[in-house]
Amino acid sequence: MTTDPLALFNDWFAQARASEPNDSNAMALATVNTAGQPAVRMVLLKGHDASGFVFYTNKQSRKADDLRANMKAALLFHWKSLRRQIRIEGAVSTVDDATADAYFASRSRDSRIGAWASDQSRPLADRSIFEARYTALVAQFEGAEVPRPPHWSGYRVAPESIEFWEDGTHRLHHRRLFTRAAAGWNEGILYP
């Protein structure tokens, strides 16, 4: 068994990509607003390395508002087919423009135009308003590259703790907790 939580994450994530029928990179993102109200929603992991776990969103969305107020978040991966989950908690930072630009350019053209058309998380009086805006932007960008909107970027959660949970018979689960230390990671186990 590895004592490196990032290597263990890579191993479990590879197994999830092979076994999960849909969105093996889906993760719950929990944030807290200025009033202390928590919120959780599903986002997609779009990159990870030793510096953290990256997702992208509209910087005017509710999750981005929460992150501006409190630059900490929690992530949860749950892979039902493997009967495993991973919880990650840590500080959040925005990715640099070059990283955001590169990921944005890899998205489908329709998704890039959708990022311009959507006022994510804001009330929408009627779906036809959004569809008309999208259609107008398709015409506006016809024959041209679709650049990353200034209100769209990525966030990186730098892990301070990572917990690996495996289902056990009779609810006698296996839990390993890694916490960041000056020289790497401390490891312990938790009661089920």
pLDDT band at 21 (very low <50, low <70, confident <90, very high): confident
52 assigned to some structural domain: yes
**What's the domain range around 90?**
5-105+149-190
pLDDT tens-digit profile of 38-76? 999 999 999 999 999 999 999 999 999 999 999 999 999
Please enumerate in sequence order all residues whose Cβ is within 8 A of that of 180, keeping only pairs 6 or more positions apart, or say none. Answer: 159, 160, 161, 186
32 assigned to some structural domain: yes
55 assigned to some structural domain: yes
CA distance 148 to 112: 7
117 assigned to some structural domain: no
**Residue 1 clears pLDDT 70, i.e. is over it:** no
pLDDT band at 121 (very low <50, low <70, confident <90, very high): confident
112 assigned to some structural domain: no
CA distance 50 to 158: 8
User: CATH number of the domain that 170 lies in?
Assistant: 2.30.110.10
**Residue 29 clears pLDDT 70, i.e. is over it:** yes
Please enumerate in sequence order all residues whose Cβ is within 8 A of that of 12, keeping only pairs 6 or more positions apart, or say none. Answer: 79, 82, 84, 86, 164
**Residue 2 clears pLDDT 80, i.e. is over it:** no
68 assigned to some structural domain: yes
Query: Which residue(s) pair with 189 in the sheet?
Result: 176
pLDDT tens-digit profile of 107-116? 999 999 999 9
Q: Considering the entire predicted model, what is its pTM?
A: 0.94
Clarify whether 17 is annotated catalytic.
Answer: no
Sole residue written with tokens 């186990």: 189
144 assigned to some structural domain: no
Per the structure, the count of domains in the chain is 1
31 assigned to some structural domain: yes
Candidates 84, 148, 171, 180; catalytic one: 171
Look over the chain and give the mean of its residue pLDDT values, rounded to a whole number: 96
